[in-house]
Amino acid sequence: MATIGEACGLIKGSIYHHFKSKEELALECLKYIHEYFNREIFSIAYTKQLSPKDKLILFTKKVEEYFMNSEGGCLLGNFALEISNNIPLFKNEIIEYFKNWEEAIYQILKPEIGEKQAKEKAMQIVSATQGSIMLMRIYGKPDPFKIQNKAIIDFLP
Amino acid sequence: MATIGEACGLIKGSIYHHFKSKEELALECLKYIHEYFNREIFSIAYTKQLSPKDKLILFTKKVEEYFMNSEGGCLLGNFALEISNNIPLFKNEIIEYFKNWEEAIYQILKPEIGEKQAKEKAMQIVSATQGSIMLMRIYGKPDPFKIQNKAIIDFLP
DNA sequence: CCATTTACCAAACGGGAGTTTGGCATAGTA
DNA sequence: TACTATGCCAAACTCCCGTTTGGTAAATGG
């Protein structure tokens, strides 16, 4: 809380005039990011103007931009591995986030490769993206993430 | 420390007769797991008796067995996303673990698809495995992990 | 068999992190 | 102007967690 306060130009106690607990603040962060992804990235899958290939390219580009400019990797992924099991509200938010991600890719791929294939591939792409973000952080260089994104785009002819 | 003690039939203070700090204990855990993977799984890549395809099948099977029977996902992956940046010794151990993993798969794939391709593919397989373990935990069902493992095996003809 | 080490417990210690309290400005409102 | 609400700070509070201490009993070993 002290660190968060500092980033806001406040001391830790002052935060409690805006959020009633640290947990509530954290949940609002998860929601905020989830909504951002829904609005700016996942929505690409549901626009009618683009071809599946172009959707996939744009989608992947937006994801790459986002995580190349974020310091700590994927916040929802991090939360998933840490504390979500102990806090049902967190867990629910995280599950919905990843379901939305998968569903978006599924919608992009379905017209090209069919429902069953698209379902599996969507899951794999989300997995691979998350894993490559992890590796990017571990190694301290963007190669794993960028190579992975390239492979995603190349998946559609 | 209280929880760890309990699991050992001790109280938390007693642990300090075996490890000088929590950090040392954690590092020993990382080393222990790293060594286990080196000995039982990564070594498969360097045995001479099997074909690349059979190596990949066995390797993937061992990885699957391990993580299907582990409760908290991949410990080194979790550490990677949490605290490694603050503790250089942890970070180093984690980097080596993932490098060894990648290198093992690289060695398996190289004879079949060449050095450059094998390098990229190895990185992707490690990424995808870690990500699918994460998704398995989030969703509370093994599907993402198992589907991913199947895809790894099917990669070699 | 005595001396020393080892393994352990019970209790206390110390610091840190989230939270609460009370007061002081400033802004808005009647 | 007076009243109220808001935003914030400084300080205290509380609980938890890693760690330390002192003492006891078993194990080791010369």
Q: By the CB < 8 Å criterion, does A126 face chain B?
A: yes
What 3-state DSSP class applies to A142?
Answer: coil
Least confident range of A45-49, A95-99, B85-89, B113-117:
B85-89
Domain range summary for chain A, segments of one domain joined by +:
22-155
Fold category of A22-155 in CATH:
Tetracycline Repressor; domain 2 (1.10.357)
Summarize pLDDT for A12-36 with one digit per residue, the tens. 999 999 999 999 999 999 999 999 9
Distance CA B25, CA A142 (A): 31
Q: Which residue from A minimizes the CA distance to B91?
A: A138
Question: Do the Cβ atoms of B138 and A95 come within 8 Å?
Answer: yes
Contact A41, A74 (CB under 8 A): no
Half-sphere exposure of B134 (CA within 13 A, CB side): 36
pLDDT-derived band at A84, boundaries 50, 70, 90: low
- Asked whether the predicted pLDDT for residue A82 surpasses 70, the reply is yes
pLDDT of residue A51: 96
Residue ranges for chain B with pLDDT beneath 50: none
Q: List CB contacts of A70: < 8 A, sequence separation 6 or more.
A: none
Contact B93, B74 (CB under 8 A): no
Q: By the CB < 8 Å criterion, does A144 face chain B?
A: yes
DSSP output for B38-96: HHHTGGGGG-SSS-HHHHHHHHHHHHHHHHHT-SSS-HHHHHHHHTGGG-HHHHHHHHH
Give the relative orientation of helices A52-68 and A88-113 as an angle to the nearest 10 degrees. Answer: 150
Question: Shortest CB distance from B131 goes to which of A78, A91, A131?
Answer: A131
Question: Do the Cβ atoms of B80 and A134 come within 8 Å?
Answer: yes
pLDDT of residue A95: 95
Question: Do the Cβ atoms of B81 and A81 come within 8 Å?
Answer: yes
What 3-state DSSP class applies to B69?
Answer: coil
User: How is residue A125 written in tokens?
Assistant: 């792409």
Interface test with B, best of A82, A96, A127, A150 (most B CBs within 10 A): A127
Distance CA A126, CA A131 (A): 9
Question: Rounded to a whole number, what is the distance in angstroms from the first to the last CA of chain B?
Answer: 48
Residue holding tokens 């991090």? A78
pLDDT of residue A73: 85
Question: Do the Cβ atoms of A127 and B148 come within 8 Å?
Answer: yes
Question: Shortest CB distance from A144 goes to which of B77, B123, B147?
Answer: B123
- Asked whether the predicted pLDDT for residue A54 surpasses 70, the reply is yes
Summarize pLDDT for A100-117 with one digit per residue, the tens. 999 999 999 999 999 999
Tally of residues, chain A: 157
Question: Rounded to a whole number, what is the distance in angstroms from the first to the last CA of chain A?
Answer: 48
Q: What kind of architecture, by CATH, is found in domain B23-155?
A: Orthogonal Bundle (1.10)
Q: By the CB < 8 Å criterion, does B59 face chain A?
A: no
